[in-house]
């Protein structure tokens, strides 16, 4: 009989290091331990989710800096000191602004770890696609994913597998939405890409404060109070999705990653370890509008989205006219007119990049009453 994949869930009520450090240690241990090839000489890349330049106290958009600090301290305790932290956000942000606002600059300063801007790239290939990913990936012996558990308008939930998409450099992330312009197509692409090229060595997930509603950026706080860990990111995401009432094997992104060898998402093949599962099974976070989008027939996705007037809408009162959304839109569907940001419906493919990139959470997905009631 095949050995099951271990996923641990351990309780941590808040981001106090006194709770976090023992919880991270326990989660790692109970999931079977850190990768065997990690040693004191290893060069380690920690890949949190730093989606946009936003403080974790305002919104649960980014991996919490104290969570990242706890992982660094646990690694250092094991003698692993060559640690680098980095991510590539959605949209165009100044690196210093991203690092300061997300709190990661303070962590890097005080814990003496490196910060890397994801700017240099090398190409990887999937079929006939050239995909620019972080060039320095080759310089690391171990890459550990530190995702934030959130709902997602396109992929239902986002965790470690989706976190790998941040290894793609800058604006290229938006470009692939043009080639795969529906939630199903994009989910299959990301799952396949993860399995083929971007598998993490290990993942520790921040699900202390999660995002419910229209994640990954326009949702709101949901306290789960759990940390997940696993050497299999697909199994980890599949298990953690239960926080929002999902069966992981019904999530196309994870199913695609599993199909192409990225990991296991069938719950029957996952062994649950740790003391946090009673909490996980009692949770019921609010899902995103992906529930509506996945009901649109895939081949007619654009037409149905247009007919139902399902489009991003800007709440002008809080808009600072920073233009980050405009730069994030590969379709050039966003424009400034009379000092207001507007969306041209006929050009929009509903990639959600503008919603993900807006640092003020002022772009929301709206749909007609026909679909919502
Ligand atoms: S909606 Fe306004 S605040 Fe948000 S990214 Fe666009 S310009 Fe900036
Ligand atoms: S306006 Fe439409 S196409 Fe442009 S980024 Fe937003 S969702 Fe994507």
pLDDT band at 170 (very low <50, low <70, confident <90, very high): confident
Cross-strand pairs, 227:
10, 206
- pTM comes to 0.96
Per residue in 101-140, pLDDT (tens digit) is: 999 999 999 999 999 999 999 999 999 999 999 999 999 9
Residue 301, token pair as written in the block: 């996705």
What sign results for the dihedral spanned by CA atoms 25, 31, 33, 35?
negative
For ligand 1, whether the C-beta of 160 sits within 6 Å is no
Q: What is the pLDDT of residue 372?
A: 54
pLDDT band at 373 (very low <50, low <70, confident <90, very high): very low
Shortest-distance atom of ligand 1 to CA 357? 5
For the packed helices 104-111 and 65-77, what is the interaxial angle rounded to 10 degrees? Answer: 20
Q: What is the mean pLDDT of residues 353-370?
A: 88
pLDDT band at 371 (very low <50, low <70, confident <90, very high): low
Of 185, 15, 165, 180, which Cα lies nearest the Cα of 89?
165
Cross-strand pairs, 364:
313
The phi and psi torsions of 369 (rounded to 5 degrees) equal -60, -30
Q: What is the pLDDT of residue 181?
A: 95
For ligand 1, whether the C-beta of 364 sits within 6 Å is no
| Protein residue with its CA nearest to atom 6 in ligand 1 | 325
CA dihedral 70, 73, 75, 79 (to 10 degrees): -170
pLDDT at 335 > cutoff 90: yes
Burial of residue 35, with CB atoms counted within 10 A of its CB: 0-12 exposed, 13-18 middle, 19 or more buried? middle
Residue with tokens 């996980």: 280
| Cα–Cα distance for residue pair 66/64, rounded to 1 Å | 6
Task: Say if CB 51 and CB 62 are below 8 A apart.
Answer: yes
| Cα–Cα distance for residue pair 50/36, rounded to 1 Å | 27
Q: What is the pLDDT of residue 38?
A: 98
Per residue in 184-235, pLDDT (tens digit) is: 999 999 999 999 999 999 999 999 999 999 999 999 999 999 999 999 999 9
Per residue in 42-60, pLDDT (tens digit) is: 999 999 999 999 999 999 9
Q: What is the pLDDT of residue 369?
A: 59
Q: What is the pLDDT of residue 74?
A: 98
Of 25, 45, 15, which Cα lies nearest the Cα of 206?
15
| Protein residue with its CA nearest to atom 8 in ligand 1 | 322
Q: What is the pLDDT of residue 267?
A: 93
Q: What is the pLDDT of residue 368?
A: 75
pLDDT band at 370 (very low <50, low <70, confident <90, very high): low
| Protein residue with its CA nearest to atom 5 in ligand 1 | 358
Report cis status (omega within 30 of 0) of the bond before 51. Answer: no
| Protein residue with its CA nearest to atom 4 in ligand 1 | 358
pLDDT at 158 > cutoff 70: yes
For ligand 1, whether the C-beta of 336 sits within 6 Å is no
pLDDT at 5 > cutoff 60: yes
Looking at all shown ligands, the one closest to residue 361's CA atom is 1
368 versus 339: which is more confidently predicted?
339
For ligand 1, whether the C-beta of 323 sits within 6 Å is yes
170 versus 83: which is more confidently predicted?
83
333 CA → ligand 2 middle, Å: 6
Per residue in 229-287, pLDDT (tens digit) is: 999 999 999 999 999 999 999 999 999 999 999 999 999 999 999 999 999 999 999 99
Task: Say if CB 35 and CB 59 are below 8 A apart.
Answer: no
| Cα–Cα distance for residue pair 159/271, rounded to 1 Å | 19
Q: What is the pLDDT of residue 365?
A: 96
Average confidence score pLDDT of the chain: 95
pLDDT band at 90 (very low <50, low <70, confident <90, very high): confident
Residue 135, token pair as written in the block: 């060039």
As a 3-state breakdown, the chain gives helix, strand, coil percent values, each rounded to 5, of 40, 25, 40
| Cα–Cα distance for residue pair 276/58, rounded to 1 Å | 26
pLDDT cut 90: percent of the chain above it: 93
Give the E-state strand segments of 154-236 in sequence order: 156-158, 202-212, 220-230
């Amino acid at each position: 009989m095949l050995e099951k994949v271990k996923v641990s869930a351990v309780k941590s009520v808040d981001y106090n290091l006194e709770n976090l450090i023992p919880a991270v240690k326990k989660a790692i241990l109970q999931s079977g331990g850190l990768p065997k090839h990690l040693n004191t000489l290893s060069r380690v890349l920690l890949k949190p989710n730093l989606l946009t330049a936003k403080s974790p106290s305002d919104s649960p958009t980014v991996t919490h800096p104290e969570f990242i600090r706890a992982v660094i301290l646990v690694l250092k305790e094991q003698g692993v000191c060559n640690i680098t932290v980095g991510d590539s956000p959605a949209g165009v942000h100044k690196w210093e602004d991203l690092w300061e606002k997300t709190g990661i600059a303070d962590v890097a300063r005080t814990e003496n770890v490196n910060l890397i801007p994801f700017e240099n790239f090398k190409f990887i290939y999937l079929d006939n696609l050239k995909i620019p990913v972080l060039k320095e990936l080759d310089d690391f012996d171990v890459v550990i994913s530190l995702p934030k558990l959130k709902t997602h308008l396109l992929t239902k939930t986002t965790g470690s597998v989706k976190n790998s998409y941040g290894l793609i450099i800058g604006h290229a992330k938006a470009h692939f939405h043009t080639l795969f312009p529906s939630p199903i197509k994009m989910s299959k692409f990301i799952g396949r890409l993860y399995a083929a090229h971007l598998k993490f060595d290990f993942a520790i997930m921040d699900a202390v404060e999660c995002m419910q509603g229209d994640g990954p950026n326009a949702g709101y706080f949901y306290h789960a109070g759990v940390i997940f860990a696993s050497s299999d990111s697909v199994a980890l995401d599949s298990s953690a999705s239960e926080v929002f009432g999902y069966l992981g094997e019904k999530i196309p992104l994870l199913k695609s990653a599993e199909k192409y060898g990225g990991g296991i998402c069938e719950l029957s093949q996952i062994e649950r370890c740790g003391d946090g599962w009673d909490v996980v099974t009692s949770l019921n976070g609010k899902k995103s509008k992906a529930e509506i989008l996945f009901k649109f027939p895939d081949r007619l996705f654009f037409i149905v989205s247009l007919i139902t007037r399902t489009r991003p809408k800007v709440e002008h009162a809080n808009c600072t006219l920073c233009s980050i959304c405009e730069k994030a839109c590969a379709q050039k569907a966003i424009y400034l007119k009379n000092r207001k940001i507007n969306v041209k419906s006929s050009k929009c493919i509903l990639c959600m990049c503008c919603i993900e990139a807006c640092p003020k959470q002022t772009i929301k997905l709206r749909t007609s009453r026909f679909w919502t009631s």
